[in-house]
Amino acid sequence: MSISTNDLKNGMALNLPDGLMQVVEFQHVKPGKGGAFVRTKLKNVRTGAVVEKTFRADEKVGFAQIDKREMQFLYREGDDFVFMDNGTYDQIQVPAKQLGEATDYMREGDTVVLPMYNDEILGVDLPAAVELEVVETEPGVQGDRVSGARKPARVETGLIVQVPLFVEIGERIKVDTRSGEYLARA
């Protein structure tokens, strides 16, 4: 399926010879002389690399339909993660390397959105922040109240997060999924 470069929108996926790309931003340019063109910034969906590419106005490019499916993370099986489609109840196994760093923020039973192109999973769409339980950290030293002082804490998924000294084992904390930083107590 093709689409005209005049119809591009942010977030749209394109199937180009360079690979599967997502439009980050675009700009229609009509110079004083010469033909109009479309300047784009594209992100490779598989590698995350961002490239700039220029197309002629009304040039046809491959359109990619990305299906976003809501799935529940059931359990880990070796290096694979097993998900269940919330609509069809089908189960699929996904290698951890296809999910990237998202594995640090997913707990069994969590519902996530998996973007899929044909039958290929392109990663995981996570919420901006998740709540995780602290399973291991050193106790805060009484009287050590240095402003902004942090200590490492291991959460239930195995991720190490730098937390304030007052956070203890068993507490639930909010963690930013984009940066991996502590946000607040939950």
Domains 2-62 and 129-185 share a fold: no
pLDDT along the chain (186 residues), means of 10: 86 87 89 89 85 89 88 90 89 85 87 86 84 85 66 88 86 88 85
What pLDDT, on a 0 to 100 scale, did the predictor assign at position 144? 58
CATH number at 67-121? 2.40.50.140
Fold for 2-62, please state it: SH3 type barrels. (2.30.30)
Q: Please tell me the predicted confidence (pLDDT) of residue 177.
A: 86
Q: What was the pLDDT predicted at 140?
A: 67
Domain 129-185: give its CATH code: 2.40.50.140
User: What's the confidence (pLDDT) of residue 124?
Assistant: 84
Q: Where are the domains of the chain?
A: 2-62, 67-121, 129-185
**Alpha carbon 127 to its chain's center:** 9
What is the structure's pLDDT at 143? 59
Q: What is the pLDDT of residue 84?
A: 92
Question: Pick from 58, 53, 16, 14: which is nearest to 36 by CA?
Answer: 58
The neighbouring-strand residues paired with 61 are: 3
